[in-house]
Amino acid sequence: MADAAADSRLLPSRFADWFAAQGWSPRAHQLEMVARAQAGRDALLIAPTGGGKTLAGFLPSLVELAGQPREARRGVHTLYISPLKALAVDVERNLSRPIREIGLDVTAESRTGDTGIARRQRQKVHPPDILLTTPEQLALFCAWEGSRLYFEDLACVVIDEIHALHASKRGDLLSLGLARLSALAPGMRRIGLSATVDDPDVIRRWMGCGDRPVDLVRGPPGAPPEVDLLLSNGRTPWAGHTAQHAMAEVYDAIRKARTALVFVNTRFQAEFAFQELWKLNDDGLPIALHHGSLAPEQRRKVEAAMARGELKAVVCTSTLDLGIDWGDVDLVIQLASPKGASRMVQRIGRANHRLDEPSRAFFVPANRFETLECQAARECIAENRLDGEPLRTGALDVLAQHLLGCACAEPFDEAALLAEVRTAGPFRDLSAADFDLTLDLTATGGYALQAYDRFRRLVRNPEGLWTVRNGETARRHRLNLGAILSPEMLSVRIAQGARLVGGRKIGEIEEGYFEMLDPGDTFVFAGQVWSLAGITGMDVLVRPARASDPKMPSWGGSKFALSSHLARRVRRMMSDEAAWAVLPPDVNEWLGLQRRHSRIVAEDEMLVETFPRGRRHFLVAYPFEGRLAHTTLAMLLTRRLERAGAQPLGFVCNDYALAVWSLKPMDEVDMDDLFAQDMLGDDLEDWLAESFMMKRAFKGCAIIAGLIERRFPGEPRKSGRQVTFSTDLIYDVLRRHQPDHLLLRCARQDAAEGMIDAARLGDLLARVAGRVRHVRLDRLSPFAVPMLMEIGKERSPGQAGDAILAEAESELIAEALA
Amino acid sequence: MNAVETLGLNPASDGSLELVLAGEAARLLSSGALLLEGYSALVVADLHLEKGSAFAGRGQLLPPLDTRETLRRLAADTAAVAPERIVFLGDAFHDHEASRRMSEDDRQVLEDLGRAAGLVWITGNHDPEPDGDLPGEAAEEVRLGGLILRHEPQPAPAPGEIAGHLHPCARIATPRGAVRRRCLVTDGERAILPAYGAFTGGLNVLDPAFAGLFARPPVVAALGDRRVHAAGARSLRPDRS
């Protein structure tokens, strides 16, 4: 508790009265934020959920506005930016209460992509004191001719859930928007808010303006969460990802809770768990489903029912990682692998928004490796050791988009703009040469030939400043900006009558999903079984089906890879027999079997097993570095094994291990050579250049840089996702004729970071160099069982499939233990 | 009788596919050019030269490299098969102004081609007026024995016709996944050639635009990375977006 005299200096009496009327006293970090603001300092506030974080972010602005007569205010005073539209709207509602009750003459309004045109127009003419919006709306403001006038009196910008924004292209774009705002309003303060931050310094560097320091303010630590493993009768399966074995216990836990959030990692798992829970739901509990493919109206309905306290549980994916507060949630259940400690803290924080009571959570491991992972995550959370993301280097395709936006707003001087861009954290080390290349990309497409001089999008005006070529260019830019890319989505609609006519829309699914389905095939979506009737244009037409064993192809893997921090914990836990004591008996026994039948290696070593099975030979390696890095590694290993004459046939990967099978034995392969670090040279480059991942990455960069447009003026929004030209054709031509083109460089970087995890693979190879422990076995090991179970399981995880899998699994286990 | 039997499909070691069209021997190169061996004629459809610069004029700065890439392919094909003539099956240029936007280097490549073989420009809908500065001669259609070469396919079955205009593409599905490739489509009586230009997209052969052109279910010859692959109607899938 801060002392009262200091309080009164910081808080005007009507604020203090309001706190008192609520039966509260202002929290130390709330007052601290006011004090920092009055000293003109930027600040990052880290406070647990339920700690009055949002109010702390706005309190300095409210205090300042309370002392300003309305006529003295000109533009927006405080700009609030949230990663979610819904959050901006929710904060608008939450702010209105203190404003009203304190009796402040302050207006606060949200503005998102869903805000009506009339309100947006009015906001431009009569700016509210506090404007609540999203990064994309800020980018639009930056590309508006009126931006300088609108923001020149801006006093403060508040960035909420900052941990969810900074390490992405969206964050790059936002950082450039902030640089612009600081240029327009040099006195502007920046405030960042977050509940879960591993490394505050990374975020402070990201959000700071140039060398201006950002103060760190911490709220009180909340009560540590209570996290337990839910072990179904003490038995965890050897393999699998669905946690089907534990559903009865999960249901029971939901029944006993007030309100539960059941988190899963993929939409497939969400659909599966939802179905399984409803099979058990004899009490008819209101259990709902929420994931990114459901129609927005459907999701809004679930959120509203949740807010009204009408639901017992929601099965959800990362779509509910962030969001508005639901006071009633008292239990969080994580089904299957947690993947990383930070995400878990975020998810667990969705339960119990009171500081003094611990949040409660269950982890439900779906297999024995996941038991290790869940235990490791539990320890990380208890020690508050979160996984961090390094400071990003800003993407140049995003910079290209920003430069065009700046030119749409007003003519710019390139030296001044370079200096401004360098005040954005991710772009602080931007070289003048790269800036010039990016400016040329924006202006002419960046081609070595000067063919496009007459088609420039940017031209120099008589004063030597860069400006946009014409109004048409500006209009098209505003339609296409943003750094969020979504895959091509097809609408799922109920077929009407015998003819293929689309009716009510029930959601959206990625185009690729339907590659595997033929008309008549059944699948589960939005909690029901459907049969595919046909596909017309952008619509997938379905009919309700009653199939009890729907064909349910795997629906994308988890997009999250096991964090390196958690992976290290798992390796350490496995290598240290003394640490096994905390693990459940069945997992303990399994580790013991592995030691007896194969080998347990030290934390910094890597185990590789080779063994024959059927008419094939297998190589299984256990790097524990996440599925992405493993997939890249397996791809490169197969190339090497091919050259070595082993005739590899295929491979499979998960977060823990990878398995390659071949026609010829691999027992005599020199494993130190096989895993030598030089595979990251030519082998990687050769493979990457031809891979679909580069083409996909290139498409993303071409869209963000504005080389290819998603939308044309006057086109309906609906068809807007399709690009107007095949980027694969451009990729091929550029690669042949201008291999040093800037966008190829951007694509290479994106693919290396996001799709193949090249950095992590490099770390892995360096870590295990000279420490590969090769064990030649005459049959598979206990650890190898789950890997072999992964093979071929993709196609039919329905009920019949499960029976087959169970049978196959027991055979495999018997074989390992024979 | 089914189309596959009369087509005499025969993959050659260089990746091309030999086939018989209306009784005449032909060879589809993996680049998408069709060689009519009996007439020493290399036929290429829909080059759409300067498509990149046409988009640039409307504000989308696609690479100005398509003409160079397309002509490079054509020069390589010409060097490999040494035809007496090269027949452009219409829409060689993307628009009326296109030939005037060509770079000097690209124009030089075209002139070299004109010295290596006789160039015949069949007029298409994008380039109705032949450009007087270009080497070669213009024609509305060309007859070679029983074959008739024109830009736009006639609406009814037309034995012996070799046309372009539609930019046929096939989406071919296997249990391992689906791929989409440019293709020649034929029933053995007539053929529609794939677009040859580096920036030309494609229209799925299951599109209604192809309906009624063939007397029996056609076969496609799809352009893979290194060779031409034949595929029948059962492997074809409509586009998904």
- Give A444-487 as a DSSP string: H---SS-TTGGG-SEEE-TTS-EEES-HHHHHHHHHH--S----
Q: What tokens were used for A374?
A: 């869940």
- A742-750 and A692-704 helices, crossing angle to 10°: 120
Nearest-CB residue to B63 (from A488, A724, A730)? A730
Tell whether B65 lies on the interface with A, counting CB pairs under 8 A. yes
Which of A557, A559, A512, A556 lies closest to A757 in space, CA to CA?
A: A559
- A676-724 confidence digits (pLDDT tens): 988 888 788 877 777 777 888 898 899 999 988 776 555 444 333 345 5
CA atoms of A405 and A391, how far apart (whole Å): 24
CB atoms within 10 A of CB A25: 15
- From chain A, pick out residues whose CB is under 8 angstroms from the CB of B55: 725
Q: What percent of chain A has pLDDT over 70?
A: 88
Between these two residues, A400 and A6, which has the higher pLDDT value?
A400
Whether the CB-CB separation of A695 and A731 falls below 8 Å is answered with: yes
Whether the CB-CB separation of A794 and A554 falls below 8 Å is answered with: yes
Q: Do B65 and A737 touch (CB under 8 A)?
A: yes
User: How far A562 CA sits from the closest chain B CA (Å)?
Assistant: 28
- From chain A, pick out residues whose CB is under 8 angstroms from the CB of B177: 515
CA atoms of A803 and A141, how far apart (whole Å): 57
Pairing of strands B236-237, A466-468: unpaired
pLDDT confidence of residue A536: 67
Whether the CB-CB separation of A300 and A307 falls below 8 Å is answered with: no
CA atoms of A585 and A589, how far apart (whole Å): 6
Model confidence at A557, pLDDT cuts 50, 70, 90, reads very low
Give the mean pLDDT of A203-215: 94
Between these two residues, A98 and B7, which has the higher pLDDT value?
A98
Start-to-end Cα distance in chain A: 66
Pairing of strands A156-159, A78-81: parallel
Q: Do B201 and A473 touch (CB under 8 A)?
A: no
- From chain B, pick out residues whose CB is under 8 angstroms from the CB of A491: none
* Amino acid identity at A11: L
Tell me the residues of chain B between 154 and 183 that have a Cβ less than 8 Å away from chain A: 173, 177-178
Whether the CB-CB separation of A111 and A123 falls below 8 Å is answered with: yes
- From chain A, pick out residues whose CB is under 8 angstroms from the CB of B62: 445, 707-708, 725, 730
- A162-180 confidence digits (pLDDT tens): 988 888 899 999 999 999 9
Nearest-CB residue to A445 (from B57, B61, B241)? B61
- The strand order across the sheet containing B24-28 reads B10-11, B17-21, B24-28, B34-36, B41-44, B85-88, B118-122, B137-139
Give how far Cα B213 sits from Cα of A305, A314, B21, B70, Å: 56, 55, 15, 28
- Check residue A148 and report its DSSP letter: H
Q: What tokens were used for B138?
A: 């213009």
**Residues near A60 by beta carbon (within 8 Å), at least 6 away in sequence:** A33, A34, A36, A37, A38, A156, A189, A191
Q: Do B56 and A445 touch (CB under 8 A)?
A: yes
CA atoms of A331 and A263, how far apart (whole Å): 11
Indicate the burial class of A526 (C-beta count within 10 angstroms; 0-12, 13-18, 19 or more).
middle
- B38-70 confidence digits (pLDDT tens): 999 999 999 999 999 999 988 889 999 999 999
Task: Produce one character per residue of A748-758: b if its CB has 16 or more CB atoms within 10 Å, e if not.
Answer: bbbbbbebbbb
Q: Which residues pair with A519 in a beta bridge?
A: none
Nearest-CB residue to B240 (from A490, A708, A729)? A490
Q: Do B241 and A490 touch (CB under 8 A)?
A: yes
- Whole-model pTM: value is 0.83
Between these two residues, A725 and A358, which has the higher pLDDT value?
A358
Whether the CB-CB separation of B50 and B197 falls below 8 Å is answered with: no
- From chain B, pick out residues whose CB is under 8 angstroms from the CB of A472: 59
Q: Do A729 and B65 touch (CB under 8 A)?
A: no
Model confidence at B175, pLDDT cuts 50, 70, 90, reads low
Task: Spell out where A175-218 has E strands.
Answer: 189-194, 214-218
Q: Do A445 and B63 touch (CB under 8 A)?
A: yes
User: How far A666 CA sits from the closest chain B CA (Å)?
Assistant: 27
Q: Which of A397, A444, A447, A500 to mutate to test the interface with B (most CBs of B within 10 A)?
A: A447
Q: Do A738 and B63 touch (CB under 8 A)?
A: yes
* Amino acid identity at A717: R
Between these two residues, A326 and A749, which has the higher pLDDT value?
A749
CA atoms of A322 and A339, how far apart (whole Å): 17
- A638-647 confidence digits (pLDDT tens): 889 988 998 8
pLDDT confidence of residue B5: 65
Q: Do A709 and B60 touch (CB under 8 A)?
A: yes
Give how far Cα A491 sits from Cα of A295, A517, A533, Å: 9, 15, 13
Q: Which residues pair with A501 in a beta bridge?
A: A496
Q: Do A734 and B63 touch (CB under 8 A)?
A: yes
pLDDT confidence of residue B230: 85
Residues of A engaging B, defined by a Cβ cutoff of 8 Å: 444-445, 447, 449, 451-452, 455, 457, 472-473, 476, 488, 490, 511, 514-515, 535, 537-538, 707-709, 722, 724-726, 729-730, 732-734, 736-738, 741
Tell me the residues of chain B between 188 and 207 that have a Cβ less than 8 Å away from chain A: 198-199, 201
Helices (H), A337-459: 341-348, 368-383, 396-409, 414-421, 432-444
Q: Which of A551, A733, A796 to mutate to test the interface with B (most CBs of B within 10 A)?
A: A733
- From chain A, pick out residues whose CB is under 8 angstroms from the CB of B68: 737
Whether the CB-CB separation of A427 and A209 falls below 8 Å is answered with: no
pLDDT confidence of residue A718: 36
Give how far Cα A792 sits from Cα of A598, A724, A804, Å: 25, 37, 12
CA atoms of A143 and A58, how far apart (whole Å): 26
Express the helix, strand and coil content of chain A in percent, nearest 5 each. Answer: 45, 15, 35
Identify the H or E element spanning A80. strand A78-81
Residue B72 predicted with pLDDT over 60: yes
Give the mean pLDDT of B166-192: 83
Tell whether B224 lies on the interface with A, counting CB pairs under 8 A. no
* Amino acid identity at A440: D
Whether the CB-CB separation of A355 and A50 falls below 8 Å is answered with: yes
Tell whether B70 lies on the interface with A, counting CB pairs under 8 A. no
- A788-803 confidence digits (pLDDT tens): 887 754 333 233 333 3
- Check residue A709 and report its DSSP letter: -
Nearest-CB residue to A488 (from B65, B178, B241)? B241
Nearest-CB residue to A457 (from B53, B59, B64)? B59
User: How far A457 CA sits from the closest chain B CA (Å)?
Assistant: 7
Give the mean pLDDT of A31-57: 91
User: What mean pLDDT, rounded, does chain A reach?
Assistant: 85
CB atoms within 10 A of CB A304: 10
pLDDT confidence of residue A441: 95
Q: What percent of chain A has pLDDT over 90?
A: 47
Give the mean pLDDT of A122-148: 94
* Amino acid identity at A638: T
Q: What tokens were used for A471?
A: 């109004």
User: How far A719 CA sits from the closest chain B CA (Å)?
Assistant: 10
In chain A, the largest separation of any two C-alpha atoms, in whole Å, equals: 86
CA B225 from chain centre, in angstroms, equals 16
Q: Which of B49, B55, B61 to mutate to test the interface with A (most CBs of A within 10 A)?
A: B61
User: How far A456 CA sits from the closest chain B CA (Å)?
Assistant: 8
Q: Which of A730, A734, A740, A743 to mutate to test the interface with B (most CBs of B within 10 A)?
A: A730
CA atoms of A240 and A654, how far apart (whole Å): 11
Indicate the burial class of A498 (C-beta count within 10 angstroms; 0-12, 13-18, 19 or more).
exposed
- From chain A, pick out residues whose CB is under 8 angstroms from the CB of B201: 725-726, 729
Nearest-CB residue to A457 (from B61, B63, B177)? B61
Pairing of strands A214-218, A42-46: parallel
Give how far Cα A63 sits from Cα of A12, A13, A107, A158, A581, Å: 7, 10, 14, 15, 55
- A214-245 confidence digits (pLDDT tens): 999 999 887 788 888 887 776 888 887 788 88
User: How far B197 CA sits from the closest chain A CA (Å)?
Assistant: 10
Start-to-end Cα distance in chain B: 34
CA atoms of B195 and B214, how far apart (whole Å): 19
- Give whichever of A158-162, A475-479, A720-724 has the largest mean pLDDT: A158-162
Q: What tokens were used for A184?
A: 């327009």
